[in-house]
Amino acid sequence: EKDFLIAPSILSADFARLGEEVVNSLSAGADVVHFDVMDNHYVPNLTIGPLVCTALRNHGVTAPIDVHLMVSPVDRIVTDFAKAGASYITFHPEASPHVDRTLQLIRSEGCKSGLVFNPATPLDCLKYVMDKVDIILLMSVNPGFGGQAFIPAVLDKAREARKLIDESGFDIRLEIDGGVSAGNIKEVAEAGVDMFVAGSAIFRDPRTEEAYKETIDGMRA
């Protein structure tokens, strides 16, 4: 695996041409497909479910699909996403009453598991489940919508999470989601993050593979 992974959030893609958009972003150099699942209950928006994940796999997408669950309850959708071809499944600890059990369920379904921390949620519960997470995802916006401004307080949290990961000795990715662009990615990487979600920064006009490549190359620079 690469040192730094770029994960375009398809929330900002053109849903009428989703397959093409995902293929173009991957051809442009993206590493992972970030797949935002919202239920109009845990978050105030409604998006896509396992059917769409299956459709992307049937469309020939072989890259890892990073399913970010913003739903409550969590457990009953996990198996469906595993069957639909999810690679990573992450969820918010506030959305599941039995965090440890949900993490175990995700791994038992053959996926990599992760916890997502909202901007004002402390990392406290992590210390009890460090051996059960493959990804720690820090929200740098409040979940629900693309195109919001990056919340700088998360940089301190990223340094804190990086320290916990290094001290644990486990192989855990540190992912960030929200308001990431070529303009701030360097600062975010310096705080210890190694997986970067970007929605509106990548999926904007012109919607061509070349334009996506320019943005992704800019983020890696």
Binding residues for a divalent metal cation: 34, 36, 68, 177
Distance CA 52, CA 62 (A): 14
Which stretch, 14-22, 29-37, 154-162, 200-208, contacts Zn ion (CB under 5 A)?
29-37
Residue 177, interface with Zn ion (CB under 5 A)? Answer: yes
Cis peptide before 119 (omega within 30 of 0): no
Residue 177 annotated among the catalytic residues of the structure: yes
Closest contact distance (angstroms) between CB of 34 and ligand DX5 is 6
Give the burial string for 170-179 (b: 16+ CB within 10 Å, else e): eebbbbbbbb
Q: Which is nearer to ligand DX5, 15 or 128 (CB)?
A: 15
Which stretch, 19-27, 82-90, 169-177, 207-215, contacts Zn ion (CB under 5 A)?
169-177
Nearest 5 degrees, angle CA 75-CA 5-CA 8? 70
Residue 36 annotated among the catalytic residues of the structure: yes
Q: Which residues bind ligand DX5 (CB under 6 A)?
A: 9, 11-12, 34, 36, 68, 141, 143-144, 146-148, 177-180, 197-201
Closest contact distance (angstroms) between CB of 42 and Zn ion is 13
Runs of H (alpha helix) within 70-221:
75-83, 99-108, 126-129, 154-168, 185-190, 209-220
Q: Which is nearer to ligand DX5, 13 or 106 (CB)?
A: 13
Q: Which does 184 bind (CB under 5 to 8 A by kind): Zn ion, ligand DX5, none?
A: none
SS3 helix, strand, coil % of the chain, rounded to 5? 40, 20, 40
Q: Which of 36, 39, 66, 134 is catalytic?
A: 36
Residue 21, interface with Zn ion (CB under 5 A)? Answer: no
Helix (H) or strand (E) holding 132: none
Q: Which is nearer to ligand DX5, 144 or 168 (CB)?
A: 144
Q: Which is nearer to ligand DX5, 104 or 220 (CB)?
A: 220
Q: Is 67 exposed, middle or buried (0-12, 13-18, 19+ CB in 10 A)?
A: buried
Q: Which of 39, 66, 177, 194 is catalytic?
A: 177
CB 141 within 8 A of CB 162: no
Distance CA 203, CA 172 (A): 27
Site for Zn ion in 30-89 (CB under 5 A): 36, 68
Show which residues are catalytic: 36, 177
